[in-house]
Amino acid sequence: MSALILIELNGSEVNASSRAAITAASQLSDSIDALVLTNDSSNSESVSKLAGINSVKMIVDDALEHANVEVASKLIAEAMSGYKYLVSGSSTYSKNILPRVGALLDVQPISDVCEIKSNNTFVRPLYAGNIMATVESSDEIIIMTVRATAFEHSGDGGSAKVEALSSTIPESNSTFISLQESQSERPELTTAARIVSGGRGLGSKENFALIEQLADKLDAAVGASRAAVDAGFISNDYQVGQTGKVVAPQLYLAVGISGAIQHLAGMKDSQVIVVINNDPDAPMSRMADLVWQTDLFVALKELNEYQI
């Protein structure tokens, strides 16, 4: 009962959520292969070094540079021949492609798996993580995405053989135009060890810079609540929550965030939660390990000036 991992690459690096997918798959199968769709064959190098991978299947074509979903789903469906499981990390990359693969193979995919109970039984969140459901699949093939925060990220140390699949690239009805990459010198939000997150309490885009200043001091990523994003303080790719990014850092420092259900669902598994807020009744405070109840601007000034 072998498993195929759909690997997501960031440049030539393997995405952390793909590493979580390998760990998840190792609980289902002892024969795991990786599938890479790319425009650059030199990308096989980082994939073949992944621990726990038997062999790397590569499809290399210029058309695969920007994950054309119509093309990718057909190629993956073909590559699934002989496999029982298709596992990938819960990223926008996989969420875009995997359900379409499910349609082509007549399989009902399973999203955001957080725990593997048996070879066909899984735990996944519903209602923004307020409900955890244990679900059993009766499909012959199982297709799933797994939460990157729920499984260890498998490391390097392997030396898998690489096999180029000679696939015919199908015609497509969509074309890539451009990618506006979010530029940041800071750690990536979903994999950062520390996150400083700001909410509506910051009051303005200018004030939000205080959050960025503190993040730089702590070598942390910047996060935001949906309220802060909707108010235009910061762009949406910093949003933490069920409809934004789900995070579980060692340290989550929430400033001026009251704690809407959907925000809590996105960060509740953080190891240490610190809340800075002047409202003692904010739902966020109940989740905190440390609470500093004060005017957030007073606290931010003191923190930014403090010599570590």
Partner 1 sequence: MKIIIPIKRVLDPYTQARVNKQTEQVDLANAKMAMNPFCEIAVEEALTLKESGAASETIAVSIGTDKTVDTLRTALAMGVDRAIFIKTESELDLQPLHIGKILANIIRREEAELIIMGKQAVDNDNNQTGQILSGLLDYSLGTFISKFELSADASSVEVSREIDSGIEIRKLNLPAIVTVDLRLNEPRYASLPNIMKARSKPLETIELDSLGIDTSPRIKVISVVESGTKDRASKQISSAEELFSELNQMGVL
Q: CA 22, CA 51: separation in Å to the nearest integer?
A: 9
User: Is there a contact between 154 and 53 (Cβ–Cβ < 8 Å)?
Assistant: no
In terms of Cα–Cα distance, which of 58, 13, 61 is closest to 35? 58
Backbone angles phi, psi at 268, to 5 degrees: -65, -20
Report the nearest approach of partner 1 to the CB of residue 300 (Å).
Answer: 9
CA distances from 147 to 6, 119, 125, 173, 296 (A): 14, 17, 10, 31, 32
Question: Which one, 206 or 308, has the nearer CB to partner 1?
Answer: 308
Question: Which one, 28 or 160, has the nearer CB to partner 1?
Answer: 28
**Which tokens sit at 119?**
């070879």
Report the nearest approach of partner 1 to the CB of residue 12 (Å).
Answer: 14
Question: Which one, 81 or 178, has the nearer CB to partner 1?
Answer: 178
Question: Which one, 31 or 236, has the nearer CB to partner 1?
Answer: 236
Report the nearest approach of partner 1 to the CB of residue 251 (Å).
Answer: 4
Question: Which one, 55 or 172, has the nearer CB to partner 1?
Answer: 172
User: Is there a contact between 211 and 296 (Cβ–Cβ < 8 Å)?
Assistant: no
Report the nearest approach of partner 1 to the CB of residue 232 (Å).
Answer: 11
26-36 b/e with 16+ CB inside 10 Å = b?
A: bebbeebbbbb
191-206 b/e with 16+ CB inside 10 Å = b?
A: bbebbbbbbbbbbeee
Question: Which one, 133 or 164, has the nearer CB to partner 1?
Answer: 133
Report the nearest approach of partner 1 to the CB of residue 54 (Å).
Answer: 27
Question: Which one, 209 or 274, has the nearer CB to partner 1?
Answer: 274
Report the nearest approach of partner 1 to the CB of residue 275 (Å).
Answer: 8
Report the nearest approach of partner 1 to the CB of residue 3 (Å).
Answer: 19
**Which tokens sit at 204?**
């303005």
In terms of DSSP bridges, do strands 9-10 and 13-14 run parallel, antiparallel, or are they unpaired?
antiparallel
Identity of the residue numbered 113:
V
Q: CA 197, CA 284: separation in Å to the nearest integer?
A: 12
Report the nearest approach of partner 1 to the CB of residue 249 (Å).
Answer: 9
Question: Which one, 158 or 170, has the nearer CB to partner 1?
Answer: 170
Bridge partners of 86, per DSSP, are 4, 143
